[in-house]
Amino acid sequence: MTAKTILAFLFLLTLRTAAQEAPEPQRQAQCNFSDGRTITVTYSSERREYRLATDEDLVTVKGIGVPSGDYSVFPAKDSHNNWTLRMRKQTEKGRSSELPPLPMSVTTSAPVANFTVSFDHTGGSCVMHWGAEKFKILLSLEFTERNTDLPVFK
């Protein structure tokens, strides 16, 4: 191959790469409790990366304690075909620790234009909504601040 052919090929390759769409930026959904504590979900539907962060041991989900930290999260169906939220946390020693699957409520929805995560804040709870255009469903899960008077399963 001549140098001109190689340069022309590289030029066309560069143009094609530049013409491709830029990757979707990460988005965030956040819920703030009245005492200032937060739940934040950072996500990118394109990369299928979903992160949930809590500050302090503040949240219980369906009676299951969620310690503070940064979690990889993803919805999945269990062995009974029910939707659950899976939460995995990296430990300091490089291992991962997974919470029990958290049952999610399911409702059918109108087609969702894009994948979305959002929160509704009511009183002392935050309801996370997970919309997926592929399935035309809306998954929901309620988070509440930990009440020290109630038992928490770990």
Lowest mean pLDDT among 6-15, 33-42, 115-124: 6-15
Q: What percent of the chain has pLDDT over 90?
A: 28
pLDDT of 17 above 70: no
| Residue 96 to residue 72: CA distance in whole angstroms | 10
- pLDDT tens by residue, 96-105: 889 999 999 9
Task: For CA atoms 62, 64, 70, 73, give the dihedral sign.
Answer: negative
39 lies in a domain?
yes
64 lies in a domain?
yes
* Beta-strand pair 102-103/83-90: antiparallel
90 lies in a domain?
yes
> Which pair of structure tokens corresponds to residue 147?
């009440």
List phi, psi (to 5°) of 47: -95, -5
User: What predicted TM-score, i.e. pTM, was given to this entire model?
Assistant: 0.72
52 lies in a domain?
yes
What pLDDT score was predicted for residue 7?
47
Higher pLDDT, 10 or 91: 91
Q: How far is CA 52 from the centre of its chain?
A: 6
> Which pair of structure tokens corresponds to residue 139?
């998954």
Supply the mean pLDDT for the chain. 78
- Structural domain containing residue 92: 26-145
5 lies in a domain?
no
15 confidence band (pLDDT: 50, 70, 90)? very low
24 confidence band (pLDDT: 50, 70, 90)? low
Mean pLDDT of 83-91: 89
139 lies in a domain?
yes
73 lies in a domain?
yes
Higher pLDDT, 125 or 62: 125
20 confidence band (pLDDT: 50, 70, 90)? low
Based on C-alpha coordinates, what's the Rg of the chain? 21
Total number of domains in the chain = 1
19 lies in a domain?
no
What pLDDT score was predicted for residue 49?
78
Find the largest Cα–Cα distance for the chain: 78
What pLDDT score was predicted for residue 42?
93
What pLDDT score was predicted for residue 105?
92
